[in-house]
């Protein structure tokens, strides 16, 4: 494993800091919307049990006419216009916006001195204590670790750590980059991102 180097904001393309922060907001909003459980469900008047009999006579009682106790006006009746679990919460974000959002998230990390780059990152022993020593050596609250390709030993070393999350480069997105306090990224992955700008 090679030495970890802090990336300064002026080492990134200047265009990264000129990006409108609204791109990052839109991507994070879209990401969180896409992982919603979508399990809210209320019974409407046709789903509520009972209600087969007219509760009282149409005329003569002095009360308003009623055809079923499953009506929303009755206690225990159905819900009018309640939530149904067929709602689509997905929000569309363009490819360009996704790319800009990631670039801005990385630039913000560099501004906060929380973006680190390594040539290659691998824990040959596969031991969690070695991975923990690496994470603690950074002195950060929590860390997102981005590798080009995850090998089995490195995966085993990091999988039980609570304050770190190991992902491959194709899993990296602006939401994860913004959510974690700091990022450790392999040099090849960072170069690929900066070339796309």
User: pLDDT tens-digit profile of 39-54?
Assistant: 999 999 999 999 899 9
pLDDT of residue 9: 81
Please report how the helices 22-34 and 95-111 are oriented relative to each other, as an axis angle in degrees rounded to 10. Answer: 110
Residue spans in the chain of domains classed CATH 3.40.1370.10: 5-19+90-195
Q: Is the separation of the CB atoms in 156 and 126 below 8 Å?
A: yes
Tell me how far apart the alpha carbons of residues 137 and 164 are, in angstroms, rounded to a whole number.
Answer: 13
Task: Tell me the C-alpha distance between 97 and 80, whole Å.
Answer: 38
Q: What is the pLDDT of residues 124-171, one digit of tens each?
A: 898 999 999 999 998 899 999 999 999 999 999 999 998 899 999 999
Residue bearing tokens 């909003």: 29
Q: Does domain 5-19+90-195 match CATH 3.40.1370.10?
A: yes
55 — pLDDT class (breaks 50, 70, 90)? very high
- Mean predicted lDDT score pLDDT of the chain: 92
Q: What is the CA radius of gyration of the chain?
A: 27
Whether the per-residue pLDDT at 2 is higher than 70: the answer is no
The answer, yes or no, to whether residue 17 has pLDDT greater than 70, is yes
Spatial distance between the Cα atoms of 129 and 29, rounded to a whole number of angstroms: 36
Write out pLDDT tens, residues 107-116.
Answer: 999 999 999 9
């Amino acid at each position: 494993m090679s030495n970890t180097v802090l990336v300064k904001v002026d080492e990134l393309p200047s265009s990264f800091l000129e990006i409108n922060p609204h791109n990052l907001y839109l991507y994070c909003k879209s990401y969180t919307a896409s992982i919603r459980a979508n399990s809210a469900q209320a019974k409407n008047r046709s789903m509520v049990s009972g209600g087969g009999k007219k509760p009282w006579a149409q005329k003569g009682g002095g009360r308003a006419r009623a055809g079923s106790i499953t009506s929303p006006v009755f206690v225990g009746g159905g819900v009018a216009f309640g939530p149904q679990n067929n709602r689509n919460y997905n929000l569309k974000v363009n490819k360009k916006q996704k790319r800009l959002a990631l670039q801005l998230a990385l630039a913000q990390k560099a501004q906060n001195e929380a973006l680190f780059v390594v040539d290659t990152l691998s824990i040959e022993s596969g031991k969690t204590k070695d991975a923990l020593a690496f994470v603690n050596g950074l002195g950060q609250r929590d860390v997102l670790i981005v590798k080009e390709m995850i090998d089995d030993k490195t995966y085993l070393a990091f999988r039980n750590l609570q304050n770190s999350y190991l992902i491959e480069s194709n899993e990296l997105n602006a939401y994860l980059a913004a959510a974690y306090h700091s990022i450790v990224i392999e040099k090849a992955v960072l170069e690929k991102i900066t070339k796309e700008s």
